[in-house]
Structure 1
Amino acid sequence: MSNHQIDLRAYAIPLLHAAKYPAYDVCGALLGKIGTKDQHHTEITTAVPFFHQWTTVTPMLEVALKQTEMYAKKHGWVIVGWYYGKACLNDSAIPESAKKVAEAIKNNNGGKAYVFMIDNEQFSASEPNKSVIIMFLDAKLTKFLKPYIAADNGWKKLAEDQIILTETNTYAKTLELINKSLYTDIHDFDEHLNNVSLNWLDVSQLRLI
C-alpha cells in the first residue's frame, strides 16, 4: 500500500494562509518528493502561498509556478500538488481552476499529484482533534467518492491509514500557531507583486517550532 507523508509545514502553511485572508479564496503549491514506481512513498514537505486575490488561472500563475519550480529544484523538491481554500464555509468542492493546475502538476510528475482542500467549516470550528484539511489523491479508473468530481481521471479522498503525519500533534500545533498570529509572517505572490521586498518563496521554510 502506498503511504503519503505530510510534514508540519505542508499542513500548517495553507491554513495560516487561509487564516490571514479569511474573506478570500487562497491557493498555493505543495512541495516535496515523489517516490519511484518501486517506492510507494511520497513526502509532502512544505507549501508556498500563491494568491488570495487572483485564484483563477492567469498569466501570473505561470510566472509563479515557474519561479516555484526553480526554487523547489534548488532545495531538492518538486511541486507535488496544489492547495485551495474557499472563503465560503460550507463548500469544500475542488474548483475548476484548482483542477486545471493540479492536472498540469500531475502531467509533470508521471501521473501523481495532490490537492489539499481546506475544510473551512471544521477550520472555523477550531477543533484540534479533527483534521481540517481534506486531501485528494489523483486516481485513474476508480469510482469517485464525491459527487462534484466528474472526470474519468478524477480525485479521490485518501484513507486515514494511508496518511503519515510527521508530527504526532499536528492539529494542535497548527491551531497554536494560528492563535499566536503566525499568519502575519505569511506572504503570498500577490503581496510580493505589490512589495517585492516580501520573500514569498521562503515562506516554505517558515520556522514553526
Structure 2
Amino acid sequence: MPQPGAGGFGMNWADVGRIIGAAAPTVGTLLGGPAGAAVGALVSSALNAPNDPEAVSTILATNPDAMVKVQELQTNAKVQLQQLAVTAENNRLQAEAAQYAAEAADRDSARKLAAAQPRDIVRPVVTGLILLGTLLIIAAVFMGWNKEILTDPTASLTVGTVIGLWFGELKQVMGFWFGMTKESQKQNAAITEFAVAPGTVTRTDK
C-alpha cells in the first residue's frame, strides 16, 4: 500500500512547499523542484520530525513555532540550500542529455538500417501517411470540420489524446529523416502540448 509522501496518494514535498512558501519562499520553491527530497530532509531535521511530508505538514499545522524554525533554516542554511539546488539541476540536465544521446543513437541506427535496404517502401509509405494525416488534422481544426466533436467535453478529451499521439509520431518521423536538435525536440513537445490543451484544439466545459 502506498505510503503518504512516498509516491502514493498522500502529501508530497511540493505540497509542503506551497504551505511554507509565503513564510520561507526559498525553501518552498526548492521543495517543489528536483531538490525537493533533499530539502525536505533538512526541513524534517530542523523540525525534529520524521522525514515524511505528511508528518512535516502536521507539525506545521499544529506547532506555531514550526514555521519560525523553517525561516531560521532558510537563513542559516542558505549556502547549503543553493548547493542542493545546483546539484539537483545538474543531475537533471545530465539525465536529459543522456536521454537525448540515446534517442539520437537509436535514430542513427535506424537510418543506417534504412540505407542498407534501398528498396524498402515501408518507411516512405508510413512517412507519407503521417504527413497526410497531419495536414488533415490541421485542416479539420482550422476549417471547423466536426466542430460538434471538438466542442463536446467528453469527445474532445479523446480527440485531444489522439492528436497528441499523432503529433508525437510526426516528431519521430521528422527526426528520422531530417535529424533533430535538442531545441527542436523541445519545440515539438510544446506544439504537442498545445494541441491537446483544453481551450485550444479541444475544449472542456466547466
Q: What is the TM-score of this pair, normalised by structure 1?
A: 0.19
TM-score for the superposition, normalised by structure 2: 0.20
Which structure is richer in relative contact order (CA contacts within 8 A, separation 6 or more)? 1
Structure with the higher fraction of residues in helix conformation: 2
Please say which structure displays the higher CA radius of gyration. Answer: 2
